Structure 1
Amino acid sequence: MNDTPVVVLTALNLEYEAVREKLTSPEPYLHPRGTLFEVGTLPGGRGRVALALTGKGNQSSAVLTERAIQEFSPAALFFVGVAGALWDTPLGDVVVATHVYAYHGGTSEDDGLKARPRAWESPHGISQTAQHLARLGTWCRHAPAQQDRPHVHFGPIAAGEVVQNSRVSHEAAWIRQTYNDALAVEMEGAGIAQAGHLSGTPVAVVRGISDRADGEKATEADRAWQPVAAANAADFALELAGELVGTEEPSSMREKKDPRDTGNVTNTSNGTVGVQAGHVSGGTFHVSLPASGAAPDVVAELDSLREGLAQERSAGRIDEETYEAASEELDTASKGIEEGTPEGKKSSILALKRLWGLLGDLASLGARIAPLISAVKGTS
């Protein structure tokens, strides 16, 4: 079982229960600041899940997302729950966000409201794995036989600050005009996505459709569909989590070895062969050769990354605020390595993930951070 957990957050107790009932042996885990998590095992024992309730809204969700990331250094973070359909997505179906729109950003001018959109894309790896699971269709094996088999849809989700329960309101018209490709609407995804972006943690937003955002919230139909939609979202999210924690690191992160490096040394000239380590049996020397892609010197690489950061600032490719924030994360990572403790290692990994979020758009620096995170994880 993979020791790195996945964090699952929900806004409502109904959503929380839909996830919790699928976990094995959930145990309370109290954060020093009072947030109560429950840590359990995924179905099939494929990994651990830390589950918590955020309450409604993007702000509280963002704060508790950051808290969960700091505490658990998760392999991924999921926000799971119900949402309203913006178009004709069937009730009970699941929507996995390809983008999250923060749709309330704008500027009010004399001739009307102008959009200032913000959007966050789903990480490529999560999106690819989710698409694969949707094609297989095995994730919904627990759906009641009398119900139609739920489907998974991929598309943008709009996240705002109000409960959207009308198709003729000003807000509904605003979404249709400005975010007309969004499949669902909710109130937490933007906060989750921003916190994940800043920390470098992969984030997935998985929603079950419980209503059509058309004035029917809090009706008998809505109360009937909410638990169904929440259960379907939980089923898909936990199946996806199991796939992610059970997947090997991509080949670019693995050590690569020259096939010619067989580890055998043959003395063909009857001369003297010196070895620094290994054991000798008869006339054959058996040695272990390091792979050509062995982990770099972490301290030296951090220093080199710091130099590259200064060069990017001098060239005007990053602003002063980003430079200062990135420098602080490098300082934190260096300090953690110097401490040489498990806590220091964890602190370094988190700092590098946040650094990745800050510098991921700069190819010259972003490409160097992922191998560095892997190298720190491999330190003892």
Structure 2
Amino acid sequence: MTFAILSALPEEQSGLVAHLQHPEQVARAGRTFTRGMLHGQPVVLALSGIGKVAAATTATALVEHFGAAAIVFTGVAGGVGEGVQVGDVVVAQDYLQHDMDASPLFARWELPGYARARLACDAHLSAHLLEAAGACVSSARGHFDLNYPAARVHHGLVVSGDRFVSAARESDRLRQDLRAAGHEVLAVEMEGAAVAQVCLDYGVPFAAVRTISDRADDAAHVDFPLFVQTVASRYAEHMVLAFLQKLSNL
């Protein structure tokens, strides 16, 4: 069973590349994929690039060309939900495209042809990611360049859209609009919902874990680069390795 580990940016999986055994690079769809072994599991590491279309292209290549039996997305996100702070980790329970609006033909956020707005992540994979994330957050306190002693793990809705949300007013409106429709959002990013949709189409299990790099507010453009460089890659490395080790022991 080949696991695909997907991230948007090189920094988000640089630590994983260093652990890869028997690496082999393959060019496909304008991207470089790296095959190898991690904790005895065959894996493919890939960078989606930024945005939903780029992520969908990469996910499709992972399934069609590399035969990925499951896809796990790891990276960063902006915290939107109450109590979701920088340094926290969010394991996605489901995804929604916050910029999808085909009204009045369909309800706002509903995916045409799917009769729903939210796409569920795989419960089995998500449970193992939650366990790995909890262990990572507990062991990481005091060990990273940026210390977050009160870091927590959350599980719930993550939303994606082709826009970097970086203003408090926009973040607040997004949260309020979604809440009014019964969607209690925790975090916002730019790729996961597209990958979730591709995985649903192909019947491939999908899970995602995101480290909160900023609060999707007016300071997001300042917080994001530093956090990705100094913290996000270490979180991803520890969480994914623990996740794969857990699966290899089952």
- Answer whether TM exceeds 0.5 for this pair: yes
For 1:38, the equivalent position in structure 2 comes to 34
Question: When the two structures are aligned, how many residues end up with a matched partner?
Answer: 235
1:352-367 equivalences under 5 Å are none
More helix by share: 1
For 1:116, the equivalent position in structure 2 comes to 109
- Cα distance change of structure 1 residues 50 and 70 upon mapping to structure 2, 3 Å threshold: same
Q: CA deviation at 1:192?
A: 0.3
- Cα distance change of structure 1 residues 71 and 244 upon mapping to structure 2, 3 Å threshold: farther
- Cα distance change of structure 1 residues 161 and 138 upon mapping to structure 2, 3 Å threshold: closer
Question: Is structure 2 residue 168 aligned with structure 1 residue 173?
Answer: no
CA contact (8 A) 1:97 1:122 kept: yes
Q: CA deviation at 1:69?
A: 1.0
Gaps of 5+ in 2: 111-116
Separation in 1, partners of 2:188, 2:245: 26
CA contact (8 A) 1:93 1:229 kept: no
CA contact (8 A) 1:13 1:53 kept: yes
1:1-380 equivalences under 5 Å are 4-31=1-28, 33-42=29-38, 45-87=39-81, 88-107=83-102, 115-117=108-110, 118-134=117-133, 137=135, 141=139, 145=143, 147-148=147-148, 150-169=151-170, 172-179=172-179, 181-219=184-222, 221-227=223-229, 228-247=231-250
Percent identity of paired positions between Structure 1 and Structure 2? 28
- Cα distance change of structure 1 residues 114 and 68 upon mapping to structure 2, 3 Å threshold: closer
TM-score by length of 1: 0.56
- Cα distance change of structure 1 residues 123 and 166 upon mapping to structure 2, 3 Å threshold: same
Q: CA deviation at 1:90?
A: 2.4
CA contact (8 A) 1:106 1:115 kept: yes
- Give 3-state SS (helix, strand or coil) of 1:185's partner: strand
Separation in 2, partners of 1:134, 1:47: 19
Q: Which is higher, the Rg of structure 1 or of structure 2?
A: 1
Q: Cα deviation per residue 1:187-219 (whole Å; 9 max; x = unaligned)?
A: 101110001111111111111111110111232
TM-score by length of 2: 0.82
Structure number with the bigger relative contact order (C-alpha 8 A, sep ≥ 6) is 2
- Cα distance change of structure 1 residues 41 and 79 upon mapping to structure 2, 3 Å threshold: same
- Cα distance change of structure 1 residues 126 and 83 upon mapping to structure 2, 3 Å threshold: same
Q: Deviating runs (4+, > 6 A) in structure 1?
A: none
Gaps of 5+ in 1: 248-380
Q: CA deviation at 1:134?
A: 4.6
Q: Cα deviation per residue 1:208-239 (whole Å; 9 max; x = unaligned)?
A: 111110111232x4333223134213421332
Aligned-CA RMSD value: 2.6
